[in-house]
Amino acid sequence: MSSSEGRHVTLVSGRPIPFRGNEIDTDQIIPARYMTAVTFDGMGQYAFQDLRFDGEGNALDHPMNDPRFQAKGPRIALVNKNFGCGSSREHAPQALWRWGVQAIVGESFADIFFNNCVAMGIPCVQASEADIHALMTAVEEDPSHDLAVNLETMTATYNGTEYGVRTHDGARHRLRTGTWDAAGILVDALDDVRSTAAKLPYVQDFRD
Protein backbone atom coordinates (compact mmCIF):
# COMPACT_ATOMS: atom_id res chain seq x y z
CA MET A 1 0.00 0.00 0.00
CA SER A 2 2.97 2.30 -0.28
CA SER A 3 1.22 4.46 -2.87
CA SER A 4 -1.58 5.12 -0.39
CA GLU A 5 0.52 6.03 2.61
CA GLY A 6 0.68 9.53 3.98
CA ARG A 7 2.00 11.16 7.11
CA HIS A 8 2.04 8.78 10.10
CA VAL A 9 0.13 10.51 12.88
CA THR A 10 1.28 9.14 16.22
CA LEU A 11 2.31 12.08 18.37
CA VAL A 12 0.84 15.55 17.93
CA SER A 13 2.01 18.32 20.17
CA GLY A 14 1.17 22.00 20.32
CA ARG A 15 -0.16 24.86 22.38
CA PRO A 16 -3.69 24.13 23.60
CA ILE A 17 -6.68 26.41 23.08
CA PRO A 18 -9.99 25.71 24.81
CA PHE A 19 -13.28 26.21 22.94
CA ARG A 20 -15.80 25.80 25.73
CA GLY A 21 -19.39 24.78 25.08
CA ASN A 22 -21.47 21.82 23.97
CA GLU A 23 -22.96 21.45 20.50
CA ILE A 24 -20.64 23.87 18.75
CA ASP A 25 -21.93 23.34 15.21
CA THR A 26 -20.02 23.70 11.96
CA ASP A 27 -22.00 26.85 11.07
CA GLN A 28 -20.29 28.47 14.06
CA ILE A 29 -16.89 27.06 13.13
CA ILE A 30 -17.21 28.48 9.60
CA PRO A 31 -20.28 30.57 8.70
CA ALA A 32 -21.75 29.65 5.30
CA ARG A 33 -21.13 33.08 3.79
CA TYR A 34 -17.39 32.35 3.73
CA MET A 35 -17.93 29.20 1.68
CA THR A 36 -18.58 30.94 -1.63
CA ALA A 37 -15.19 29.83 -2.91
CA VAL A 38 -13.89 26.96 -5.01
CA THR A 39 -10.89 26.22 -2.76
CA PHE A 40 -10.27 25.89 0.98
CA ASP A 41 -7.48 28.49 0.80
CA GLY A 42 -7.98 31.31 3.23
CA MET A 43 -10.61 29.47 5.31
CA GLY A 44 -8.36 29.73 8.39
CA GLN A 45 -8.91 33.46 8.83
CA TYR A 46 -12.69 32.95 9.11
CA ALA A 47 -12.65 30.22 11.77
CA PHE A 48 -15.23 31.12 14.43
CA GLN A 49 -15.69 34.51 12.73
CA ASP A 50 -19.09 35.27 14.29
CA LEU A 51 -17.98 34.26 17.78
CA ARG A 52 -14.80 36.35 17.45
CA PHE A 53 -16.24 39.58 16.03
CA ASP A 54 -19.52 41.46 16.26
CA GLY A 55 -21.32 42.96 13.26
CA GLU A 56 -19.08 46.06 13.36
CA GLY A 57 -15.88 44.01 13.43
CA ASN A 58 -15.21 44.60 17.14
CA ALA A 59 -13.39 41.73 18.83
CA LEU A 60 -15.55 39.67 21.17
CA ASP A 61 -14.53 37.60 24.16
CA HIS A 62 -13.26 34.43 22.44
CA PRO A 63 -10.13 32.35 23.05
CA MET A 64 -8.86 33.05 19.52
CA ASN A 65 -8.83 36.77 20.41
CA ASP A 66 -7.32 36.19 23.86
CA PRO A 67 -3.68 37.35 24.13
CA ARG A 68 -2.91 34.28 26.27
CA PHE A 69 -3.70 31.96 23.34
CA GLN A 70 -1.73 33.64 20.55
CA ALA A 71 1.31 31.35 20.52
CA LYS A 72 2.73 30.52 17.09
CA GLY A 73 3.00 26.99 15.77
CA PRO A 74 0.76 23.93 15.94
CA ARG A 75 -2.33 24.07 18.14
CA ILE A 76 -4.43 21.48 19.96
CA ALA A 77 -8.12 22.35 20.44
CA LEU A 78 -9.93 21.40 23.65
CA VAL A 79 -13.70 21.02 23.26
CA ASN A 80 -16.74 19.69 25.09
CA LYS A 81 -19.65 17.56 23.81
CA ASN A 82 -20.89 16.90 20.25
CA PHE A 83 -18.34 19.24 18.72
CA GLY A 84 -18.82 19.81 14.98
CA CYS A 85 -22.50 18.87 14.79
CA GLY A 86 -24.74 19.98 11.94
CA SER A 87 -23.59 20.63 8.39
CA SER A 88 -21.17 18.14 6.80
CA ARG A 89 -19.01 20.99 5.46
CA GLU A 90 -15.34 19.96 5.45
CA HIS A 91 -14.75 23.69 5.39
CA ALA A 92 -15.01 23.49 9.21
CA PRO A 93 -12.02 21.21 9.91
CA GLN A 94 -10.23 22.86 6.96
CA ALA A 95 -10.67 26.26 8.66
CA LEU A 96 -9.41 24.95 11.99
CA TRP A 97 -6.48 23.16 10.32
CA ARG A 98 -5.49 26.24 8.37
CA TRP A 99 -5.65 28.28 11.57
CA GLY A 100 -3.20 25.80 13.10
CA VAL A 101 -5.27 23.12 14.84
CA GLN A 102 -3.59 19.73 14.38
CA ALA A 103 -5.52 17.64 16.90
CA ILE A 104 -8.69 17.96 18.96
CA VAL A 105 -9.28 16.62 22.46
CA GLY A 106 -12.90 16.65 23.59
CA GLU A 107 -15.75 14.94 25.39
CA SER A 108 -17.44 13.83 22.14
CA PHE A 109 -17.65 14.61 18.42
CA ALA A 110 -20.36 14.59 15.77
CA ASP A 111 -19.96 11.70 13.30
CA ILE A 112 -19.42 13.53 10.02
CA PHE A 113 -17.05 16.08 11.56
CA PHE A 114 -15.02 13.26 13.13
CA ASN A 115 -14.78 11.45 9.78
CA ASN A 116 -13.81 14.64 7.95
CA CYS A 117 -11.02 15.21 10.48
CA VAL A 118 -9.66 11.68 10.13
CA ALA A 119 -9.76 12.02 6.33
CA MET A 120 -7.48 15.07 6.75
CA GLY A 121 -5.15 13.35 9.20
CA ILE A 122 -6.43 15.28 12.22
CA PRO A 123 -6.88 13.08 15.31
CA CYS A 124 -10.00 13.67 17.43
CA VAL A 125 -9.62 11.95 20.78
CA GLN A 126 -12.10 11.73 23.64
CA ALA A 127 -11.46 12.16 27.34
CA SER A 128 -13.86 12.00 30.27
CA GLU A 129 -15.92 15.04 31.23
CA ALA A 130 -13.88 15.40 34.42
CA ASP A 131 -10.56 15.23 32.55
CA ILE A 132 -11.67 17.74 29.92
CA HIS A 133 -12.77 20.06 32.72
CA ALA A 134 -9.42 19.61 34.45
CA LEU A 135 -7.48 20.14 31.21
CA MET A 136 -9.41 23.26 30.25
CA THR A 137 -8.97 24.71 33.72
CA ALA A 138 -5.24 23.92 33.75
CA VAL A 139 -4.79 25.50 30.33
CA GLU A 140 -6.75 28.62 31.23
CA GLU A 141 -4.65 29.05 34.36
CA ASP A 142 -1.36 28.58 32.55
CA PRO A 143 -1.43 28.22 28.77
CA SER A 144 2.35 28.27 28.36
CA HIS A 145 2.98 24.54 27.82
CA ASP A 146 2.55 22.19 24.91
CA LEU A 147 -0.24 19.61 25.07
CA ALA A 148 0.94 16.26 23.70
CA VAL A 149 -1.55 13.82 22.20
CA ASN A 150 -0.05 10.36 21.86
CA LEU A 151 -1.90 7.76 19.76
CA GLU A 152 0.50 4.98 20.83
CA THR A 153 -0.07 5.33 24.56
CA MET A 154 -3.53 6.92 24.14
CA THR A 155 -2.71 9.77 26.46
CA ALA A 156 -2.86 13.53 26.48
CA THR A 157 -0.14 15.11 28.60
CA TYR A 158 -0.14 18.69 29.82
CA ASN A 159 2.38 20.25 32.17
CA GLY A 160 3.38 16.88 33.63
CA THR A 161 -0.15 15.53 34.11
CA GLU A 162 -1.24 12.61 31.96
CA TYR A 163 -4.87 12.02 30.96
CA GLY A 164 -6.21 8.84 29.35
CA VAL A 165 -7.89 9.35 25.97
CA ARG A 166 -9.72 7.09 23.53
CA THR A 167 -10.75 7.15 19.91
CA HIS A 168 -12.30 4.84 17.36
CA ASP A 169 -9.98 1.85 16.71
CA GLY A 170 -10.31 2.24 12.94
CA ALA A 171 -9.47 5.93 13.06
CA ARG A 172 -6.47 5.23 15.28
CA HIS A 173 -5.25 2.56 12.87
CA ARG A 174 -5.60 4.84 9.86
CA LEU A 175 -3.79 7.72 11.56
CA ARG A 176 -0.91 5.61 12.92
CA THR A 177 -0.33 3.79 9.64
CA GLY A 178 -0.62 6.91 7.50
CA THR A 179 -3.66 5.50 5.68
CA TRP A 180 -6.11 8.18 6.82
CA ASP A 181 -6.50 9.36 3.23
CA ALA A 182 -8.72 6.57 1.88
CA ALA A 183 -8.64 7.47 -1.83
CA GLY A 184 -5.57 5.44 -2.76
CA ILE A 185 -6.76 2.36 -0.87
CA LEU A 186 -10.21 2.52 -2.44
CA VAL A 187 -8.84 3.01 -5.95
CA ASP A 188 -6.54 -0.01 -5.49
CA ALA A 189 -9.60 -2.30 -5.58
CA LEU A 190 -11.34 -0.97 -8.69
CA ASP A 191 -11.66 -4.47 -10.19
CA ASP A 192 -13.45 -5.68 -7.06
CA VAL A 193 -15.61 -2.55 -7.17
CA ARG A 194 -16.70 -3.43 -10.71
CA SER A 195 -17.63 -6.99 -9.74
CA THR A 196 -19.62 -5.78 -6.71
CA ALA A 197 -21.45 -3.30 -8.94
CA ALA A 198 -22.18 -5.98 -11.53
CA LYS A 199 -24.10 -8.00 -8.92
CA LEU A 200 -26.42 -5.11 -7.98
CA PRO A 201 -29.66 -5.37 -9.97
CA TYR A 202 -30.22 -1.61 -10.08
CA VAL A 203 -26.81 -1.01 -11.62
CA GLN A 204 -28.01 -3.27 -14.46
CA ASP A 205 -31.33 -1.36 -14.62
CA PHE A 206 -33.04 -4.60 -13.49
CA ARG A 207 -32.30 -6.27 -16.82
CA ASP A 208 -30.92 -9.82 -16.86
Conformational region of residue 154, where left means phi above 0, alpha means psi within -120 to 50, and beta covers everything else: left
Distance CA 62, CA 125 (A): 23
Instruction: Say whether residue 88 binds other proteins (CB under 8 A).
Output: yes
| By the rule CB under 8 A, 59 interacts with other proteins | no
Q: Does 197 contact other proteins by CB under 8 A?
A: yes
Closer residue to other proteins (CB): 146 or 181: 181
Residue 15 exposed, middle or buried by CB count within 10 Å (0-12, 13-18, 19+): buried
By CB under 8 A, is residue 35 in contact with other proteins? yes
Q: Considering only CA atoms, which of 114, 131, 130, 122 is closest in space to residue 151?
A: 122
Task: Based on the shown chain and the rule CB under 8 A, indicate whether residue 7 belongs to the binding site for other proteins.
Answer: no
57 near other proteins, judged by CB under 8 A: no
Give me the least distance between CB of 51 and other proteins, in Å please. Answer: 8
DSSP 43: G
Shortest distance, position 127 Cβ to other proteins, whole Å: 15
Q: In Å, how far are 17, 32, 50, 65, 94 from 101, measured between CA atoms? A: 9, 20, 18, 15, 9
171 binds other proteins (CB under 8 A): yes
Q: Which DSSP letter does residue 177 get?
A: T
- Smallest distance from the beta carbon of 78 to other proteins, in angstroms? 15
Report DSSP state, residue 58: P
Least distance to other proteins, CB of residue 173, Å: 5
Among 6, 13, 27, 74, binds other proteins (CB under 8 A): 27
130 near other proteins, rule: CB under 8 A: no
Q: Is 95 left (phi over 0), alpha (psi -120 to 50) or beta?
A: alpha
Which residue in 58, 39, 73 sits closest to 145, CA to CA?
Answer: 73
Q: Is 169 in the site for other proteins (CB under 8 A)?
A: yes
Q: Which residues bind other proteins (CB under 8 A)?
A: 21-23, 25, 27-28, 31-33, 35-40, 50, 54-55, 80-82, 85-91, 93-94, 108, 110-112, 115-116, 119-120, 168-171, 173-174, 177, 179, 181-187, 189-190, 192-193, 196-197, 199-203, 205-207
